Amino acid sequence: MNTLPLAPEPEPHEAGYSRQRAWVEVDAGAITHNAATLVGALAHGCSLMAVVKADGYGHGAVPVAEAALAGGASCFGVATLAEGVQLRRAGMSAPILVLGNLIQAEELRSCLRWQLMPTLSGMREALLCQNLAAAAGRPMLVHLKLDTGMARLGIDWQEGARLVAAIHELADVQLAGIYSHLACADAAPADDDGLTTTQQQRFETVLASLRQQQLASGCRHLANSAGTLRSRELHYDLVRVGLALYGHSPAQHLSASSALRPAMQLRARVSLIREVGSGVGVSYGHRFRTSRPSRLAVVGIGYADGVPRQLSGAISALHHGRAIPQVGAITMDQLILDATDCPELEVGSVVTLLGHDEGLSISPEDWSSRCGTIPWEILCGFKHRLPRLSLGAH
Ligand SMILES: Cc1ncc(COP(=O)(O)O)c(C=O)c1O
C-alpha cells in the first residue's frame, strides 16, 4: 500500500496549534502592572512576595514570576517543593518560601540544595533542618509560622517566642522570617467579628516578646491580598500577595483600593453551528429546550478543561461586544451557546468565556458567585489541557 509522506507535526502546544480549540491567554503586562501598583501602595520598608503557587494560580508560574519581578516583587511564595524547584530550574534566583509543611528529611534536604526556605511549624522540622545543614556544612534559612487564629499550619502563637529562642540555639539554622496567616481579612466591615485585629494583636505579642528577649525575628509578614488591601498596618516587612497580583479583588469592598488589571482571558472556538426547531432538547438531560427556531453553537471547552459543570445555563460567552447565553448541561469537552440572536457567530469564531471583549467583561468572581465557590478556585481550576499563551512582554 502506498502511503503519502506526512509533514512533520507541530507539538500540540506550539504556536498555531494552540489556538485551535480553547486556550488561556495570560497578559504578562497586567501582572507587571499589578505588581508595580501593589508595590507603590505598600507601607514604607515593606516588600512584595509574589505568591505563584498552583502554577501561578493557573496562569503559569514561570511567566508570572518573571512578570512580577519586573513589577518590583522581591521574592516568591510556593506551596510545594516541586513548585520551588521549578522556579529555580527556570533560573529564578530571588528568595523562595515554601508555604506548605515539609515533613520529610528528603524534602528538607532538597530545600537546602535548591536554596528554598521551608516553613516551620514546630521543633521537629527545625531539628531535621539543623542535622541536614550541619551535614552539608552550610546554614539553612527558614521561616517560622505562627497560628494566630487560622487553625491550619503554624505553631500556636503562645509557643512562638519559646520556639524562636530554641531555633536561635541551633548553630546551622537561620531564622529568616516569622509569619502568620489571616483567616478573615476579606470580611466586609459589617461582618467583621474582629478576628483580624485579634490575629494582629497575637502576632504583635510574639514580636514584643522577641524584642524583650533581644531575639531577632527576621522578616515579619502577615498579610495576604485582603490584608494588603485592607490596611497598611498589616504590611510589616513583607506582604504575600496572590489573587490581587492576578488582577482580582478578594472582596467587593476592597476592589476600589487599587487599580488592578485581570491577567487571564479564557477563549474558545466554535466548532459547529446547528439550526434546530422549537422544542428541541439540548445536551445531557435536556435541561434546556428551545422555545423558538434556534441557532446553536458548539464550543470546544468543557468541565474537563475547568469550566465548572454547576455553571450550566448560568454563564455567557462574549463575541464582538455581545453576550451569548450558554444553554444546556456543560459537558466534559464541549458546551453549547444559543446564538439565535447572534447571526455573525460562525464555525471558527472565537468567543471569550472569561476576560474582556469590546467593552464587556466576565470575571472569575462572576462565575464563582454563581456556583458557590471563590475566584481562587476558578483560576486554579483550568487544566493543563488548555494551552497557556503569553500575551507578551512586561
Ligand atoms: C500562607 C499564604 N499566604 C498568602 C497567600 C496568598 O493569598 P491571596 O491569594 O489571598 O493573596 C496564600 C494563599 O492561599 C497562603 O496560603
**Among 53, 57, 179, 236, the one annotated catalytic:** 53
SS3 content of the chain, % helix, strand, coil (to 5): 35, 25, 40
User: What is the identity of the amino acid at 228?
Assistant: T
Specify the residue with its C-alpha closest to ligand 1, atom 13. Answer: 242
Dist CA 32 CA 16 (whole Å): 26
Q: In the structure grid, which three cell numbers stand for residue 294, read together?
A: 434556534
Q: Is 303 among the catalytic positions? A: no
Residue 224 alpha carbon, nearest atom of ligand 1: 11
Q: Which residues of the chain have pLDDT under 70?
A: 1-17, 256-258, 392-394
The pLDDT value given to residue 393: 45
**Among 57, 145, 236, 284, the one annotated catalytic:** 284
**40: how many CB neighbours lie within 10 A of its CB?**
11
Residue 336 to residues 254, 305, 318, 328, 340: CA-CA distances in angstroms?
35, 15, 13, 7, 12
The pLDDT value given to residue 63: 97
Percentage of the chain exceeding pLDDT 70? 94
Q: Are 288 and 314 in contact (CB under 8 A)?
A: no
The pLDDT value given to residue 244: 97
Q: In the structure grid, which three cell numbers stand for residue 201, read together?
A: 494583636
> Domains in the chain, please, with CATH?
28-246 (3.20.20.10), 264-362 (2.40.37.10)
The pLDDT value given to residue 236: 98
The pLDDT value given to residue 310: 98
Q: Is 53 among the catalytic positions? A: yes
Asked whether 250 lines ligand 1 (CB < 6 A), one says yes
Distance between Cα 268 and ligand 1 center (Å): 30
Max Cα–Cα distance, the chain, nearest Å: 87
First to last CA, the chain: 53
The pLDDT value given to residue 252: 87
Task: Supply φ then ψ for residue 76, to 5 degrees.
Answer: -125, 150
Q: Are 342 and 319 in contact (CB under 8 A)?
A: yes
Q: In the structure grid, which three cell numbers stand for residue 302, read together?
A: 468543557
